[in-house]
Amino acid sequence: MGLIVAVDAGGTKTDCMVGTERGEVLARAWAGPANLQVSGPQAMRAEILAAVAKARAQLPAGDETFDVLFVGAAGVARPGDREEVSALLKETGVAGKVVVDNDAVIALAGGTLGQPGVVVIAGTGSIAFGVNARGERARAGGWGYVLGDEGSAYDIGRQALASVMRASDGRGEPTALCDAILQHFKITSPDDLVGLVYQKGLGRADIAGLAVLVAEVARKGDRVARRILRKAGTELGAAAASVVRKLGMGSEAVLCVTSGGVFRAGELVRRALVRELAKTCPACEVVEARFPPVVGAYLLGIQEAGSRITGRVVENIEDSLFRPV
Amino acid sequence: MGLIVAVDAGGTKTDCMVGTERGEVLARAWAGPANLQVSGPQAMRAEILAAVAKARAQLPAGDETFDVLFVGAAGVARPGDREEVSALLKETGVAGKVVVDNDAVIALAGGTLGQPGVVVIAGTGSIAFGVNARGERARAGGWGYVLGDEGSAYDIGRQALASVMRASDGRGEPTALCDAILQHFKITSPDDLVGLVYQKGLGRADIAGLAVLVAEVARKGDRVARRILRKAGTELGAAAASVVRKLGMGSEAVLCVTSGGVFRAGELVRRALVRELAKTCPACEVVEARFPPVVGAYLLGIQEAGSRITGRVVENIEDSLFRPV
């Protein structure tokens, strides 16, 4: 029996697992971040192959032939992107069959186990993506940090930093984010953020990492922090609503799966999302993703290998999966 | 009689002029952009010296001794910055006396001819800066494209791009910005913006350049474009109001000078600024800067040389100045 290798190549890390068509997970490994639009196809291929090699090294000798490689990758937005990355991976001979799709597709599959629905991903970036019962797809958002990743952790972190500057120079409301962010970076004045951001190269991941801190400050009741999180949730809900409309599912009991670190930052984001989405889709059900995206890639890989996703397969995965990240 | 050399080292270009203490302008020249926070002190020094060398080449032989070099530079925010750049320039022996200050100081001087007041600069970046009758200084905003340059041309351009993506994937209101921006970049779909921004490296200056286009679309009545410009003006007005409060000038007839490309983009920005500022400072007078910032540096350089700015000096400048940019 052949093996499936599944990859979630994301902006923060590349997550890889190997398993059988029956859902028995045999290996899991990680490599560095890879976003097609940001790093380009060669860097993406390198990270994917690095993760696959690490996972392969965990397999018992002999078990090294992969039937299917299924990759969900950040920044894969246009049809040409899928073919480009797929061709680059095919020529390495890593698996008999190579399928590349975007990371939203695998996040949805990890949440709905292959059923129709909508996924809202809010990690470093953000996107809403859905598939209806006719197999039609739609997306909204997911355009990156310049063109718009409203509701993403980066967006939340950047707004927190901007709020600190607004408060510090009297343009905006005072906020406990000031002290929290100064302590976080071990600096004494908001002015020090300038050097930190523009000279010491505080990166997008560092800024996205502030979302956790915003959630903490919001829990203590800070109005500015709470407003940032509510706005993020509303933006994410608007993206989900747009997908629901495009797929003609407004009157259905749509399963809306949330995925990504922003939803672990507290209830405010989720509640605002539910409120906004309910305007378009009153019967929607908003749930957390059951599995991480890499398992979605694995499930889709099992289908590509010609097997069905049965309850037994899902149970096997739950029994054998390393702790979900 | 000695000569003054004045420099405006900005994020878009470095602007340089040479003149006498009596306001007779003898040379003007330009070099590339230089922002201390973005490019660092060495690159800034190189651009300043390149501009000064070009201006020097325009002088009659013999007239080559500079009494004072006065530099207003983007990104010079903290006291240490002024000393650092000033020391780097002093050691070149370019002038007997070297004074470095931030670009807001020279923009204000170019607007008020050295009198107290507030300047709101909205070019690629944005900042409000003021000086009261006691010589106290205050600023608000001006923290760059990550920490906040609300109301800047870059902010306007980026919001225009984000609005196109929002409209195109159904999250936001339809807007004529879509067609205008596609035509501007000679592309056929909003999706093409993704490659343009993240792969072909559409820069901050290119995005800031879209502010002109937003103004055109707004003039034709587009609601989204009008909202972006009004919001920019309100942000700039809030920054000016914060400076007025800090300087204790709320009850005075404060002269508020506007400077930078955003104010040439139409009346909407200016009107929103006036409305917002009037809440804090009802007697304020909002006027366009009389001279470009480089002339502000020149005026301050004349003072540093020990001369006064008389009406005659200002007339001389107006008579002999090359066309202001």
Q: Indicate the average pLDDT of chain A.
A: 92
State residue B75's pLDDT score.
81
Domain-located, residue A306: yes
Summarize pLDDT for B246-260 with one digit per residue, the tens: 999 999 999 999 998
State residue A63's pLDDT score.
64
State residue A264's pLDDT score.
86
State residue B322's pLDDT score.
59
State residue A322's pLDDT score.
59
Residue B266 class from Cβ within 10 Å (0-12 exposed, 13-18 middle, 19+ buried)?
buried
Interface of B with A (CB under 8 A): 37-38, 40, 75, 77-78, 139-141, 143-144, 146-148, 150, 158, 161-162, 164-166, 169-172, 191, 193-195, 197-199, 202, 207, 235, 238-239, 242, 245-246
The better pLDDT of the pair A62, A310 is held by: A310
Q: Which pLDDT band holds residue B74 (cuts at 50, 70, 90)?
A: confident
Domain count, chain A: 2
The answer to whether residues B168 and B185 belong to one domain is: yes
Summarize pLDDT for B130-161 with one digit per residue, the tens: 999 999 999 999 888 899 889 999 999 999 99
Does A171 contact B141 at a Cβ distance shorter than 8 Å? yes
* C-alpha span between A211 and B286 (Å, rounded): 39
Position A297 pLDDT exceeds 50: yes
Position B321 pLDDT exceeds 70: yes
Domain-located, residue B325: no
Q: Which pLDDT band holds residue B325 (cuts at 50, 70, 90)?
A: very low
Residue B297 class from Cβ within 10 Å (0-12 exposed, 13-18 middle, 19+ buried)?
buried
Position A115 pLDDT exceeds 50: yes
| Number of residues that make up chain B | 325
The answer to whether residues B96 and B231 belong to one domain is: no
User: What's the rounded mean pLDDT across residues B108-128?
Assistant: 92
The answer to whether residues B18 and B56 belong to one domain is: yes
Domain-located, residue A214: yes
Domain-located, residue B108: no
The answer to whether residues B94 and B118 belong to one domain is: no
Question: Which residues make Cβ contacts (< 8 Å) with residue A146, sequence separation at least 6?
Answer: B158, B161, B197, B198, B202, B207
Tell me the CATH number at B283. 3.30.420.40
Among chain B residues, CA nearest to A40: B199
The answer to whether residues A176 and A272 belong to one domain is: yes
Residue A60 tokens read as 């018992």
The answer to whether residues A123 and A261 belong to one domain is: yes
Say if CB A309 and CB A317 are below 8 A apart: no
The answer to whether residues B280 and B302 belong to one domain is: no
Contacts of B207 in chain A (CB under 8 A): 146
- Taking alpha carbons only, the member of B76, B127, B140 closest to residue B102 is B76
Min distance B234 CA to chain A CA atoms (Å): 11
Q: Which pLDDT band holds residue B39 (cuts at 50, 70, 90)?
A: confident
State residue A36's pLDDT score.
86
Contacts of A172 in chain B (CB under 8 A): 238
Position A238 pLDDT exceeds 60: yes
Q: Which pLDDT band holds residue B324 (cuts at 50, 70, 90)?
A: very low
The answer to whether residues A52 and A192 belong to one domain is: no
- Taking alpha carbons only, the member of A302, A216, A306, A271 closest to residue A24 is A302
AA letter at B51: A
Summarize pLDDT for A58-99 with one digit per residue, the tens: 998 766 789 999 999 988 877 789 999 999 999 999 999 999
The answer to whether residues A99 and A220 belong to one domain is: no
State residue B47's pLDDT score.
96
Number of neighbouring beta carbons within 10 Å of residue B189: 11
The answer to whether residues B215 and B282 belong to one domain is: yes
The better pLDDT of the pair B185, A322 is held by: B185
Domain-located, residue A325: no
Domain-located, residue A108: no
Position B188 pLDDT exceeds 60: yes
The answer to whether residues B266 and B123 belong to one domain is: yes
Nearest Cβ partner for B158 among A77, A146, A162: A146
The answer to whether residues B79 and B126 belong to one domain is: no
Domain-located, residue A109: no
Residue B160 tokens read as 């225009």
Look at residue B128 and give its three-state secondary structure.
strand
Does B197 contact A146 at a Cβ distance shorter than 8 Å? yes
A vs B, Cβ pairs < 8 A, gives 105
State residue A187's pLDDT score.
95
State residue A1's pLDDT score.
62
State residue A218's pLDDT score.
97
State residue A65's pLDDT score.
81
Say if CB A202 and CB A194 are below 8 A apart: no
Q: Which domain holds residue B69?
A: 3-103+291-320
Summarize pLDDT for B207-237 with one digit per residue, the tens: 999 999 999 999 999 999 999 999 999 999 9
Does A170 contact B141 at a Cβ distance shorter than 8 Å? no
Q: Which pLDDT band holds residue A324 (cuts at 50, 70, 90)?
A: very low
Contacts of A198 in chain B (CB under 8 A): 37-38, 75, 144, 146
The percent of residues in chain B predicted with pLDDT above 90, rounded, is 78
State residue A266's pLDDT score.
75
Q: Which pLDDT band holds residue A56 (cuts at 50, 70, 90)?
A: very high
Position B62 pLDDT exceeds 80: no
| Lowest-confidence region among A51-55, A66-70, B59-63 | B59-63
Interface of A with B (CB under 8 A): 37-38, 40, 75, 77-78, 139-141, 143-144, 146-148, 150, 158, 161-162, 164-166, 169-172, 191, 193-195, 197-199, 202, 207, 235, 238-239, 242, 245-246
